Amino acid sequence: MKYEQIVSKARNMLTKYSYNDNAGSFAVEVNVTGPGEGVFYIRVQQDADGVAVDVQPYNYYDYTARVTAPFAALRRMMERTNTADELCADGKMEVEGDMQAVYTLESMFSNYKTMHEAAKAAKPAKPRKPRAAKAAKEKE
């Protein structure tokens, strides 16, 4: 996956839904190693109106935490296949700074997955044409 696609995936996952829980305010700089190498940041700002998430393809020098990992490991965290603790224990991800910010980010990815699945389930299924009618039409 290309760097721009990685940033776009993170942005789409985190900015598509609103978060009303106590996310707090923090910034995580993400250093992608290997294929798709690059750096981007995820800034979460909580105020009276709720939680705003900003994902940008730049360094963030005043970060709360810095995560360094190949995209394969980051994807496993984003898709909730593995936790940050598991990835760190396996040596696939390094975290510098406040681990609590990474845990909060994990819960936001989990929140996305839950809301995304609920949104998919709520969409009405498109009506399908009967196969017999299609086969009869093709014979004509």
Q: Structural domain boundaries of the chain?
A: 3-139
Residue 135 reports pLDDT greater than 60: no
pTM of structure: 0.76
Q: Please, what is the angle between helix 3-15 and helix 99-122, to 10°? A: 70
Q: Report whether 40 contacts 59 (CB < 8 A).
A: no
Q: Tell me which residue of 32, 33, 31, 29 sits closest to 41, measured CA to CA.
A: 29
Please say if the pLDDT value at position 96 is more than 90. yes
**pLDDT category of residue 24 using cuts at 50, 70 and 90:** confident
Class of domain 3-139: alpha beta
